[in-house]
Amino acid sequence: MLVQMKKSGIHCLALVLLASVVFGGWNGRAAAASPITSDFRSLQASQIVSEMGAGWNLGNQLEASVNGTPGETAWGNPTVTPELIKKVKAAGFKTIRIPVSYLNYIGSAPGYTVNSAWLDRVKAVVDYAYNEGLYVVINIHGDGYNSVQGGWLLVNGSNQTVIKQKYQKVWQQIADKFVNYDERLIFESMNEVFDGSYSNPNSAYYANLNAYNQIFVDTVRQTSGNNSARWLLVPGWNTNIDYTAGNYGFVLPTDTYRSTTIPASEKRIMISAHYYSPWDFAGEESGNITQWGASATNPSKKSTWGQEDYLISQLQSMYNKFVTQGYPVVIGEFGSIDKSAYDSSSNVYRAAYAKAVTAAAKTYKAVPIYWDNGYNGQHGFGLFNRTNNTVTQQGIINAIMQGMQ
């Protein structure tokens, strides 16, 4: 989802040369690799998908920024507390995705040192969820937007060599910070990275995205320890299902440096996609389309596309392309905005939609993670009030949990 929308409330030779620059010097480190900790469980694809259950996004917090500087209260949400995370867990969610922006907190070349206080805060928030026994997903989020001040992880950027060097250094630091966390911590390479155009992907830019994913996998693995075996999550173009499962240029990264303890027949890479279809229902800030699905009572308030059959076809395409090959799919974001101001039945259809997406994910062995931006009321995605840690949309939460049954 576009960051501005979240913020407003809904929210070849060169590559060979780069490889020598980016990955040179790893050999000594790899030779002295730290071991995998005794508490780390080596889970197969079906096991981890089952354990991750239904997830929830801590949206508009650690990825929020103003003038290129991240800040967890920058977009109007209060400081994240352990009490909020406990409330989310109590509601039945088993996974929390924590989007993170780094932007101006990344220092200059050649070290690209990440601000230590910011990385410590990311760790503290991760610990709120991790210490509750939840699965946690962290990524590099707003850095990949052309539309965000300070954005630099740009597939259409003019100096890809510099971008890739910077990306490698940042992920090396993140991976080192969390190297001893067990299998419940999952790294996601990036968010909705694309060139800003909603037409078919530019092949050269898609090649850059694939290169980022490969650098991510190689870098994390070579920090050794638990990072050599943990599950890693990578997206295709703009986390779009068609552009990821279809023949548009997505290339699965190789996993050359993973631990030899992982059986050759098993994978440790997951594929990320987002689902906000149909957009006129799920995200468009107007009162034109407020109903969804077979239970809709007003045809004029229902989109002409994106109903149950489309949803099934989308999840099925990801299943056929990736899950059947051992690569789990994570629907890292889904949801729909509150349009109660236009239609008093809005939340009924939001619940029906959430249940349908979750149930389809369950059927096709994917992990559904609801997008919550902390905003309640008109055009908001919120399920909880983050100020007083109360539930605001129990009906939607119930629907998600029912979909997982």
Q: What is the mean pLDDT of the chain?
A: 93
Residue 316 has pLDDT above 90, yes or no: yes
pLDDT exceeds cutoff 70 at 29:
no
Alpha carbon distance, N-terminus to C-terminus of the chain? 27
Taking the C-alpha atoms of residue 237 and residue 26, their distance in angstroms, rounded to an integer, is: 29
Per-residue confidence (pLDDT) for residue 345, from 0 to 100: 97
Lowest-confidence region among 27-31, 244-248, 264-268, 278-282: 27-31
Q: Which of 63, 72, 188, 192 is catalytic?
A: 192
Contact residues for 404 (Cβ-Cβ < 8 A; gap 6+): 53, 54, 358, 359, 362, 368
Provide, rounded to the nearest whole percent, the portion of the chain with pLDDT above 90.
Answer: 92
User: DSSP strand E in 85-196: where?
Assistant: 95-98, 135-139, 185-188
Going by their DSSP bridges, the two strands 95-98 and 135-139 should be labelled as: parallel
**Angle, alpha carbons 265-332-53 (nearest 5°):** 70
- Helix ranges (H only) for 230-345 are 241-245, 279-282, 308-321
Instruction: For residue 235, give the DSSP letter.
Output: E
Is 83 tagged catalytic?
A: no
Exposed, middle or buried by CB within 10 Å (0-12, 13-18, 19+), for 44? middle
- Could you tell me how many residues make up the chain? 405
CB neighbour burial string for 110-127, b if at least 16 within 10 angstroms, e if fewer: eebebeeebbebbeebbe
- Higher-confidence position of 368 and 20: 368
pLDDT per residue as tens digits for the range 160-180: 999 999 999 999 999 999 999
* Closest to 43 in 3D by CA, of 314, 322, 266: 266
**Once rounded to an integer, what is the mean pLDDT over residues 62-82?**
98
- The Cα 367–Cα 332 span in angstroms is 8
pLDDT digits (tens, 9 = 90+) for 232-249: 999 999 999 999 999 999
Identify the CA nearest to 235 among candidates 353, 97, 103, 129. Answer: 97
Classify 324 as helix, strand or coil. Answer: helix
- pLDDT surpassing 70 at residue 382: yes
Instruction: Work out the pLDDT band at 189, boundaries 50, 70, 90.
Output: very high
51 catalytic per annotation: no
Q: What is the pLDDT of residues 296-309, one digit of tens each?
A: 999 999 999 999 99
pLDDT at 127 over 80: yes
Q: Where residue 404 falls among pLDDT bands split at 50, 70, 90?
A: very high
At 209-232, the pLDDT tens digits run: 999 999 999 999 999 999 999 999
In this prediction, residue 5 carries a pLDDT of 42
> pLDDT value at position 175?
98
pLDDT band at 33 (very low <50, low <70, confident <90, very high): low
Question: Is residue 1 very low, low, confident or very high in pLDDT (cuts 50, 70, 90)?
Answer: low
Helix or strand run (H / E) with residue 209: helix 203-221
| Beta carbons within 8 Å of 240's beta carbon, 6+ residues apart | 194, 273, 274
- Model pLDDT, residue 34: 83
Q: Which domains does the chain have, with CATH numbers?
A: 3-18+43-403 (3.20.20.80)
β-bridge partners, 106 = 114
Threshold 0.85, pTM exceeds = yes
